[in-house]
Chains A and B, each alone.
Chain A
């Protein structure tokens, strides 16, 4: 098993490094093709009163007068050495901005993932168990509607209901505006809405998948056998059917990382959650290339790692892959 796993990881890594290089090259090419002038961007209104000599000086300081290939190699070299550059909109090193915000995103996203898994497993199994009843129709119907609704809109509606109308929960932010220190209870209170919306928006595909997969599995002979042996319905579903129905799901979960990133960007923005995903929108609004490029690379890395983990989990979960090797 370890050999199969190691071979797969190595094979994937062999693709990852060229992929990341390609992404940096693509981003750099786009930035060079863009009509934005970073120096004017940096100066803002002062660009009107700054003399051309001073602007040329800044340009030279930033290395913008060098050939494009040399600029790319310098930037890439810095990236490889861990120097992500300075964020032009936040006037701080990019690494510092990411370091400060990454934790909040990881906290919110991982809580949302756990919530989504638990809820959609339970609800999906319920719908499959009561297949074709009004309950099943209500669940699948709302799952399809949820899939079709844009997450930022769902987030706004949820915010209106729970924060404006009922006033149960705060409408956004990390802590109370009046708070001076970071308290766990306060953060938790602010986290409920964004986490719930993110989990809800991501749950419908999983719920539908669990339902469909479980319905097919419930027709299989081994389930009939388990029922014939007189096992309780709950044992049949949870221990026998669900286990076998969930096999493809580990890979699917890994393949959903891009959607998770998308959801995080929109939900964090609506609830002004100070994570890396909302930082990408702020960077984009300010055309802040160093920050945006670093965040795009980070997201790409997350997607690649997600795929890797999914495949690894598959090797561990399915003995056939272990014995016959990775196809």
Chain B
């Protein structure tokens, strides 16, 4: 592994530990409002400063990351599941079903994702469910495309012919011969979907269309911080944003590393 992949893995492990352990051992309450220490700049007592009602930004960032990560994971899972089922159906059934499903995919892709998400959340009042639904409904198309194209190449493989000649039905071929080959692709698609889903959650929350404002989520915190930004309090929105950037960057570095390993020719040519 290269040095950057080690750093990326370290960042992810550290963030995961922080998200899991800090709420268990924290002395302070992240909801604690302390107006006497509002809008404090970063110091030893509050490494990331305090927000406009005196809540510790560091503690809230960790809680926010927890919420955003959870929403991101669920949304990624929903969208990849929907996409995998659609892609599998298109690839296995073929013919008219394939054409219809792929036209639906094209249709969903021609509406900008964030706008579509905004549309859904606006009509179903902001809530975690609406956010998950809007991310799931807009992002399943990527997974559907990947799964379909994999199924199409799998169909031509000799072991599938052998299984069918041996009397396997459609369901058995899918379960025993397609799914084991598809799982790595589906897993990679889900990993790549998580930062995307987190981005969407934070963008919607930032616009005031995501999670309820009292909940510590990274998007809500950036939105809260934006209000005091004009007064010069940069820390309340800078740090939550950094905690969106860090995991996203770490995941993309790791995925890049994984792809280079899977495709050594490209690595030797480009040394990305």
A interface with B by C-beta (< 8 Å): 15, 19, 22-23, 26-27, 30-31, 33-36, 132, 140, 144-145, 147-150, 152-153, 156-157, 159-160, 163-165, 171, 212, 215-216, 219, 257-259, 261-262, 265-266, 269-270, 280-281, 283-285, 287, 289, 292, 295-296, 299-300, 303-304, 307
1/0 per residue B112-135: CB within 8 Å of A? 111110111111110000000000
Interface residues of B in 230-267 (CB under 8 A from A): 230, 232, 234, 237-238, 240-241, 244-245, 248-249, 252-253
> Does the CB pair B123–A156 fall under 8 Å?
no
Q: Which of A35, A150, A216 has the most CB of B within 10 A?
A: A150
Q: How far is the CA of A132 from the CA of B271 in the complex (A)?
A: 8
The distance from the CB of B126 to the nearest CB of chain A, in whole angstroms, is: 9
> Does the CB pair A269–B115 fall under 8 Å?
no
Q: How far is the CA of A289 from the CA of B119 in the complex (A)?
A: 9
> Does the CB pair B115–A261 fall under 8 Å?
yes
> Does the CB pair B114–A284 fall under 8 Å?
no
Q: Which residue of B lies closest to A172 (CB)?
A: B230
> Does the CB pair B115–A156 fall under 8 Å?
no
Q: Which residue of B lies closest to A30 (CB)?
A: B123
> Does the CB pair A149–B207 fall under 8 Å?
no
Q: Which residues of A contact B199 (CB under 8 A)?
A: 150
Q: How far is the CA of A216 from the CA of B265 in the complex (A)?
A: 12
> Does the CB pair A164–B229 fall under 8 Å?
yes
Q: Which residues of B contact A257 (CB under 8 A)?
A: 112
> Does the CB pair A216–B208 fall under 8 Å?
no
Q: How far is the CA of A134 from the CA of B271 in the complex (A)?
A: 14
| B270: Cβ under 8 A from any A Cβ | yes
Known A-B contacts A157-B241, A285-B208; the reply to A265 vs B114 at CB < 8 A is yes
Q: Which residues of A contact B119 (CB under 8 A)?
A: 27, 30, 284, 292, 296
Q: How far is the CA of A281 from the CA of B120 in the complex (A)?
A: 12
> Does the CB pair A303–B118 fall under 8 Å?
no
Q: Which residues of A contact B116 (CB under 8 A)?
A: 296
The answer, among A148, A156, A281, A300, for a CB contact under 8 Å with B118, is A281
> Does the CB pair A270–B226 fall under 8 Å?
yes
Q: Which residues of B contact A303 (CB under 8 A)?
A: 110-112
Q: Which residues of A contact B252 (CB under 8 A)?
A: 144, 147-148
The answer, among B109, B115, B248, for a CB contact under 8 Å with A295, is B115
> Does the CB pair A266–B203 fall under 8 Å?
yes
Known A-B contacts A19-B106, A23-B107, A153-B241; the reply to A261 vs B112 at CB < 8 A is yes
> Does the CB pair B269–A216 fall under 8 Å?
yes
Q: How far is the CA of A219 from the CA of B269 in the complex (A)?
A: 10
The answer, among A15, A33, A152, for a CB contact under 8 Å with B203, is A152
Q: Which residue of B lies closest to A146 (CB)?
A: B245
> Does the CB pair B230–A280 fall under 8 Å?
no
Interface of A is mostly: helix
Q: Which residue of A lies closest to B249 (CB)?
A: A148
Q: How far is the CA of A252 from the CA of B115 in the complex (A)?
A: 21
Q: How far is the CA of A215 from the CA of B230 in the complex (A)?
A: 43
Q: Which residues of B contact A15 (CB under 8 A)?
A: 106
The answer, among B113, B118, B124, B244, for a CB contact under 8 Å with A149, is B244
The answer, among B114, B208, B229, for a CB contact under 8 Å with A160, is B229
The answer, among B110, B120, B209, B237, for a CB contact under 8 Å with A304, is B110
Q: Which residue of A lies closest to B241 (CB)?
A: A153
21 A/B residue pairs, CB under 8 Å, sorted by A: A19-B106, A23-B110, A35-B124, A36-B125, A132-B271, A148-B249, A149-B241, A156-B226, A157-B234, A164-B229, A165-B232, A257-B112, A258-B111, A262-B112, A265-B114, A266-B114, A280-B115, A281-B207, A281-B208, A284-B121, A307-B110
Q: Which residues of B contact A140 (CB under 8 A)?
A: 272
> Does the CB pair A284–B229 fall under 8 Å?
no
Q: Which residue of A lies closest to B4 (CB)?
A: A141
Q: Which of B206, B209, B244 has the most CB of A within 10 A?
A: B206
Q: Which residue of B lies closest to A219 (CB)?
A: B269
Known A-B contacts A145-B249, A156-B229, A164-B232; the reply to A150 vs B271 at CB < 8 A is no
Q: Which residues of B contact A165 (CB under 8 A)?
A: 232
Q: Which residues of B contact A296 (CB under 8 A)?
A: 111, 115-116, 119
| B50: Cβ under 8 A from any A Cβ | no
The distance from the CB of B232 to the nearest CB of chain A, in whole angstroms, is: 6
| B222: Cβ under 8 A from any A Cβ | yes
Q: How far is the CA of A30 from the CA of B130 in the complex (A)?
A: 12
Q: How far is the CA of A304 from the CA of B248 in the complex (A)?
A: 30
Q: How far is the CA of A148 from the CA of B192 in the complex (A)?
A: 12
Q: Which residue of A lies closest to B238 (CB)?
A: A157
Q: Which residues of B contact A153 (CB under 8 A)?
A: 222, 237, 240-241, 244-245
Interface residues of B in 192-222 (CB under 8 A from A): 195, 199, 202-203, 206-209, 222
Q: How far is the CA of A33 from the CA of B237 in the complex (A)?
A: 36
> Does the CB pair A150–B203 fall under 8 Å?
yes
The distance from the CB of A138 to the nearest CB of chain B, in whole angstroms, is: 14
Known A-B contacts A160-B234, A280-B115, A292-B122; the reply to A285 vs B209 at CB < 8 A is yes
The distance from the CB of B263 to the nearest CB of chain A, in whole angstroms, is: 14
Q: How far is the CA of A300 from the CA of B206 in the complex (A)?
A: 23
1/0 per residue B90-120: CB within 8 Å of A? 0000000000000000110111111110111
